[in-house]
Amino acid sequence: MAPLTASSCAAPEQTVELPEGTNTTDQAVVQGRVLADAAPVGGAFVRLLDATGEFTAEVVSSPEGVFRFYTAPGTWTVRALSRAGSGQADLAVTTGVFEVDVPVAR
Amino acid sequence: MSREQALVTTDWAEQHLDTPGLVFVEVDEDTTAYDGGHLPGAVRINWKTELQDAVRRDFVDRPGFEKLLSEKGISNDDTVVLYGGNNNWFAAYAYWYFKLYGHQAVKLIDGGRKRWELDGRPLVTEVPDRPETSYTAQEQDLAIRAFRDEVVAAIGTQNLIDVRSPDEFSGKLLAPAHLPQEAAQRGGHIPTALNVPWSKAANEDGTFKSDAELAELYAAVGLDDSKDTIAYCRIGERSSHSWFVLSELLGKKNVKNYDGSWTEYGSLIGVPVETGSGA
């Protein structure tokens, strides 16, 4: 367990590689890319919505279009909003690392 | 307080970037976002290193806030226009913080950085050089800040609003899902708290919903206007967003933000904790 800090709401950088030491046995890591016609979209606003459509978290995609969420097993929707358009993808996860790409279009 | 006084559009902001007496201030969750481009003329305040005490878990004290604003070139007569990323979470936190130290002329840009970027409006990397001022702050206005003892006393007697996501409220998640799920405290919520996620008050582009929609949102969960209200989240920034909605947009009286929030409450010994949906 990492120590609890009051500064830990700061958004981590969206790196291409899974950060070293990430716990993949207790949580579900949902990661992927935002794509417009197969080209990565950086700077997209990417949201994780729960099974009822309620907002759970949001990150800004990296220049490679990469996003990553740390969550619990269940059914989730990843939704992206960008200058290149919007789009979403659904997935069901258990614990571990799960990949999903989100296509966006106008 | 009303929407007209507290909120400006991105369009208004772009038209007023050069207006004397206005200081644009970016406060971001991602404290490096400013370096990559910010509103022309905007200064940065780092919520982590500049608004929080480096040693104690508390805000900088009154002389510290005076020193900070003086160095940023903000005077008592200036109107501060705040914006930030992640749906204005930390900009709303800064808005509440400025009010806490008595700076009344403060506004928030509706939608913040996200709306500005989606609009395709200009961002620059030049850092403005504002001459130092001699800023004077007031004592903290504790009418808008709640501490743990009054939160415990509010259980079952006042409106408690937990603005975290349903899965954090129930105890399924311990943190927002863009963060690793690691924390020392217990999961759950304060008994009798209503769960109104901050996100229900905002549109997808980060702008606030209409006053009618916002009023309906809190009426629907049974917020009792005859009682005082305390909002909380995990570290007090998302609840600043909901405090802004309740106090500044809807004009409700006696609304406090509990900045200790779940990281404090969920680590206290001897207080009641509830798990599950609460419904």
Domain range annotation of chain A: 28-103
Q: Do A71 and B204 count as a contact with CB atoms less than 8 A apart?
A: no
| C-alpha span between B32 and B25 (Å, rounded) | 14
Are the C-beta atoms of residues A44 and A33 closer than 8 Å to each other?
no
Of the pLDDT bands very low, low, confident and very high (cuts 50, 70, 90), residue A17 is confident
List C-alpha distances in Å: B75 to B13, B20, B37, B279.
Answer: 19, 12, 24, 47
Q: Return all residues near B32 (Cβ < 8 A) that are at least 6 apart.
A: none
B266 touches chain A (CB under 8 A): no
B185 touches chain A (CB under 8 A): yes
| pLDDT tens for each residue of B24-37 | 999 987 778 899 99
- Across the range B168-181, mean pLDDT stands at 80
With the C-alpha atoms ordered B189, B195, B196, B197, is the resulting torsion angle positive or negative?
A: positive
Chain A, chain B: beta-carbon pairs less than 8 Å apart: 106
- To the query of whether residue B233 is one of the catalytic residues in this protein, the response is yes
- Give the tokens for residue A16: 């291409």
Q: Which of A24, A41, A55 to mutate to test the interface with B (most CBs of B within 10 A)?
A: A55
CATH of domain A28-103: 2.60.40.1120
User: Which residue in the set A57, A70, A72 is minimally distant from B172, CB to CB?
Assistant: A72
| pLDDT tens for each residue of A46-94 | 999 999 998 989 999 999 999 999 988 999 999 999 999 999 999 999 9
Q: Do A4 and B57 count as a contact with CB atoms less than 8 A apart?
A: no
- Give the tokens for residue B41: 């003329």
User: Which residue in the set A27, A50, A59 is minimally distant from B167, CB to CB?
Assistant: A50
Q: Which of B116, B178, B195, B203 to mutate to test the interface with A (most CBs of A within 10 A)?
A: B178
Query: What backbone phi and psi angles, to 5 degrees, belong to B208?
Result: -80, 150
Of the pLDDT bands very low, low, confident and very high (cuts 50, 70, 90), residue B108 is very high
| C-alpha span between B262 and B274 (Å, rounded) | 12
**B236: nearest Cα among B34, B44, B59, B56:** B59
Please give the helix or strand (H or E) that residue B36 lies within, else none: helix B33-36
Q: Return all residues near B33 (Cβ < 8 A) that are at least 6 apart.
A: B26, B84, B85, B113
Please give the helix or strand (H or E) that residue B90 lies within, else none: helix B89-100
Which domains does chain B show, CATH number per domain?
3-119 (3.40.250.10), 148-265 (3.40.250.10)
Task: Give residue B211's identity as a one-letter amino acid code.
Answer: D
Of the pLDDT bands very low, low, confident and very high (cuts 50, 70, 90), residue B73 is very high
- Give the tokens for residue B126: 């030049």
Predicted-complex ipTM score: 0.81
**B240: nearest Cα among B105, B61, B53, B82:** B82
